[in-house]
Amino acid sequence: MKLAVLCTSAILGMSAPGIAHPEHEFMTGLSAPSPATVLLITGPELVDSWKPFVAWKKRLGKPVRILSTTQISERYEAKDLQEKIRRCIRNHTDHLGTRWIILGGDSEENGRGVVPARDTLHRTQTGELINVPTDIYYLSKKDWDSDNDGIYGEWKEDKESIDYPDGNVGLGRIPVRRSEDVKAYTEKVIAYESRYPESEFAISMAYASPNPPLRAELRDSWNQQISRVLEGGTLRYFFSSPDKGKTFGPAEWVNLLDSCANGKLHLKGPGSHDGWIFQNEAMITNAEVSRLTNREAYPVITTTSPETGQFDHGEDPSIAESMIRMPERGAIAVVAPSRQGPSPEQEEILSQFWEHGLGQKVSAGAALSLLKAGMAQKAIASPSDHLLACELNLLGDPTLGLRGTIPRTPTVKGPQELPPGNLSLIIESNAPHSIVSLQDDFGLYAVTVSDESGNVVFPLNVVEDSTITITVSGPEYNAVTLRIPVR
């Protein structure tokens, strides 16, 4: 095999002290030893299906390592697969510079499924004992079973061994089952990162519920928190007001998605595994999602509606899973409860997801981890807060940014072709501070950040009859790829 040599190493000194997980978090992975940045865990049968996703992320400066549950099972010592996965993840986050964990598969009850969840035991406020699939267990330093009885996360007995995310690592579950699901989701991710609508979509949020309007203080607090982080944006409210003859029903819900006007949605109100519930028991289910037409305008959704995110149910999919999996429509990411969801006092908790994601400009996964880091103190003191920290999940790619500005597609220029040998490759763009990656056909890989005027120089040695692939991307841009032949 011919090898090309990169004559320089990208030095990435930028950092943002005081922010747990800065905007340029991808750099942390780059300065760390390989394999780094993103760990994707999936079933052995889906490893090949994930490769296009992995190739795409690499072009965006986020190298991904895939491990199958079989490989993890063989390489780690522990009493069950979930504990082996937890140890594998901690090894990656503690020693290998990994900043994002993708659970690349669905889970079912009792430790089954493509990437099984760890079930933890909870007592609800009504006194019922329930099992909750708990993906934050996978980020934990400890095993959630201090009394070693094989029942995990018991409020009293296991207290010493339960901990919560610290906000440094982002986690998300992409609840796919089949190869087609992986392909459909990968295509949605590529659209989100390279063909995102260059309209007000990015900076428009809708807060919708079939219930009567929010209490004034709730609405004021949501307004206040969101307007701080969605600069120049629009916040719209959709409610039912029978006295004013207004309803927010299934037709209005469909219109909200199909209008492609709001890139950010918060949905409140009744829900179940099968769908969002409206007045007179009307519902939005998998069938309605399959008829949406919001191609390439995929919103990020937060919802407090009960059980909408119940990915571990025997029946599949839950409504949030439908929104993620449906090809060419639906959502790119959904933060939803897998069980009853927040109590009325906890209702506004998800505003913090937006505050972190838009205000600190961190990824979706880091935004949810920061929210949970902020919940830790309450969760230690109260079983209901502990339950909420366990049941709120990000379904979708945790490495995605939330797109707080209207993106633009940069113009990228380089030579039409290159002669083989040592040279300085100059790439010019109108995208200052963008992420620029370089790859060839033989594994050469470098990532750097463009300067004030959008330019980068890669001193390198190129091989005859190969292709150099340059990708320019960033939170404020739609990714652009340039291919330069070497002749």
Q: CB of 147: closest distance to Ca ion in angstroms?
A: 5
Query: Of the ranges 14-22, 146-154, 243-251, 332-340, which one interacts with Ca ion (CB under 5 A)?
Result: 146-154
Residue 213 and residue 77 in contact, taking contact as beta carbons nearer than 8 Å = no
**Residue number with CB closer to Ca ion (145 or 288):** 145
At closest approach, how far in Å is the CB of 378 from Ca ion?
Answer: 22
> At what angle are helices 179-194 and 51-59 packed, to 10 degrees?
20
Smallest separation, CB 5 to Ca ion (Å): 46
**Strands, E assignment, 386-432:** 392-396, 412-413, 421-429
Q: Closer to Ca ion by CB, 309 or 398: give it.
A: 309
- Rounded least distance, CB 387 to Ca ion, Å: 16
Spell out a b/e string for 28-56, using b for 16 or more CB atoms within 10 Å of the CB, else e: bbbeeeebbbbbbbbbeebbebbeebbeb
Among 316, 348, 391, 440, binds Ca ion (CB under 5 A): 316
| Minimal distance, residue 49 CB to Ca ion, in Å | 17
**Could you say which of 143, 145, 355, 440 contacts Ca ion (CB under 5 A)?**
145
- Nearest 5°: phi and psi at 184? -60, -40
Closest to 72 in 3D by CA, of 53, 47, 100: 47
Considering the complex, what minimum distance in angstroms separates the CB of residue 94 from Ca ion? 24
∠ Cα 116 117 121 (to 5°): 140
Measured CA to CA, the distance from residue 134 to residue 206 in angstroms comes to 29
Closest separation between CB of residue 27 and Ca ion, Å? 34
3-class SS at 286? helix
What b-and-e string marks burial along 432-447, b requiring 16 or more CB atoms within 10 Å of the CB? ebbbbbbbbeeebbbb
d(CA 338, CA 387): 10
Q: How far is the CB of 253 from Ca ion (least distance, A)?
A: 22
Taking the complex as a whole, how short is the minimal distance between the CB of residue 47 and Ca ion, in angstroms?
Answer: 20
Number of residues that bind Ca ion (CB under 5 A): 10
Whether residue 459 is preceded by a cis peptide bond, meaning omega within 30 degrees of 0, is: no
Closer CB to Ca ion, 116 or 167, in the complex = 116
Give the one residue of 154, 274, 307, 348 binding Ca ion; rule: CB under 5 A.
154
Site track for Ca ion across 271-310, x = CB under 5 A: ----------------------------------------
Q: Does 151 bind Ca ion (CB under 5 A)?
A: yes
Which one, 134 or 448, has the nearer CB to Ca ion?
134
Confirm or reject binding of residue 147 to Ca ion (CB under 5 A).
yes
Which of residues 118 and 266 has its CB atom nearest to Ca ion in the complex? Answer: 118
| Phi, psi values for residue 99, rounded to 5° | -115, -15
Using CB under 5 A, which residues numbered 157 to 186 contact Ca ion? 157-158
* Rounded distance between C-alpha atoms, residue 222 and residue 203, angstroms: 15
Burial class of residue 178, CB neighbours in 10 A (0-12, 13-18, 19+): middle
The answer to whether 351 and 391 have CB atoms below 8 angstroms apart is no
- Of 381-440, binders to Ca ion (CB under 5 A) are none
Q: Which of 48, 94, 149, 464 binds Ca ion (CB under 5 A)?
A: 149
> Site for Ca ion (CB under 5 A): which residue of 53, 192, 248, 311?
311
Closest to Ca ion by CB, 80 vs 147, is 147
Q: Is 143 in the site for Ca ion (CB under 5 A)?
A: no
Give, as ranges, the residues between 56 and 115 that touch Ca ion (CB under 5 A): 106
Q: Which is nearer to Ca ion, 316 or 440 (CB)?
A: 316
Nearest to 28 by CA among 470, 476, 447: 447
| Contact set with Ca ion (CB under 5 A) | 106, 145, 147, 149, 151, 154, 157-158, 311, 316
